[in-house]
Amino acid sequence: MIEKQSDNIENPKESLENNLEENSSDPNNKKNVNSSENSEVNSETIAKEVNENSNNTEDTLNTVSRLEQLEKEHQTLKNQYVRIAADFDNFRKRQSRDQDDLKVQLICNSLSAILPIVDNFERARQQLKPESDEAQTLHRSYQGLYKQLVEVLKQQGVAPMRVLGQHFDPNLHEAVLREPSEEEKEDIIIEELQRGYHLDGKVLRHALVKVSMGPGPSNVSQEEIEKDKVEEVLTSNKDLIDEK
């Protein structure tokens, strides 16, 4: 035995090779090697699966966050579109309304410039009293022109105001004179000085009118008022004399 151990010591390489051969020849040692190799393969597979799962999770989270971001951007763009559409619709309506107002204003200015001509025709008709045949012919001629002018104004929506006997309205009338009246109550129009006109329900020109102040004070009441004033003066003078 001692000799064998000394031999082994002397030849360590040979002994190591012998041991390896014995181990490789032993079937139990093969199983151990295979199991270790399998465990290494399984660990690598698990590691790969874990890495793949982690990568899939990260990809899913990135996709969800990206989807949320896209939804927010979509909602923002949608709100901007709705706001711009509403602004454009309001702009379109405002432009249409401004154009209508401008059109009405231009029509009012044009018709207002024609109304004094109508006034002159009416004054001429009231003042002139043709007697000769030639004068009557001339009178009928310009009256025909007057009727044509009035017809054109009617076609444009112009209508004269009817003010006599109406209650005074500052939105329609302009009071030039006020005087007492025994026949009409206060704020009743008793005379039309210049005719007013409507245009499609709107005031084209205010009517110049004379307005009643109502019945004036009676003579009896006026005399009584003056008598009372005289008595008050006499009474005050008497009091001053008594004090002296």
| pLDDT value of position 225 | 54
Which of 107, 82, 98 has its CA nearest to residue 198? Answer: 107
Contacts for 76 with CB less than 8 Å, ≥ 6 apart: none
Tokens 């002994």 -> residue: 15
Q: Which helix (H) or strand (E) holds 177?
A: strand 173-179
Taking residues 31-60, what's their average pLDDT? 62
Of 13-22, 47-56, 64-73, 121-130, the range with the lowest mean pLDDT is 13-22
> Are the C-beta atoms of 194 and 119 separated by less than 8 Å?
yes
CATH, domain range 158-217: 2.30.22.10
Taking residues 87-107, what's their average pLDDT? 89
Q: Which of 39-53, 141-155, 204-218 has the highest mean pLDDT?
A: 141-155
Residues 136-148 as b/e (b if ≥16 CB within 10 A, e otherwise) read eeeeeeeeeebee
- This prediction's pTM: 0.53
Tokens 């009557």 -> residue: 136
Report how far residue 137's alpha carbon sits from residue 114's, in angstroms, rounded to the nearest whole number.
25
Report how far residue 120's alpha carbon sits from residue 12's, in angstroms, rounded to the nearest whole number.
148
| pLDDT value of position 57 | 78
What's the mean per-residue pLDDT of the chain? 75
How many residues are there in the chain? 244
Report how far residue 153's alpha carbon sits from residue 205's, in angstroms, rounded to the nearest whole number.
13
Phi, psi of 97, rounded to the nearest 5 degrees: -65, -40
Instruction: Enumerate the domain spans of the chain.
Output: 66-156, 158-217
Question: Long-range contact list for 70-73, CB < 8 A, 24+ apart?
Answer: none
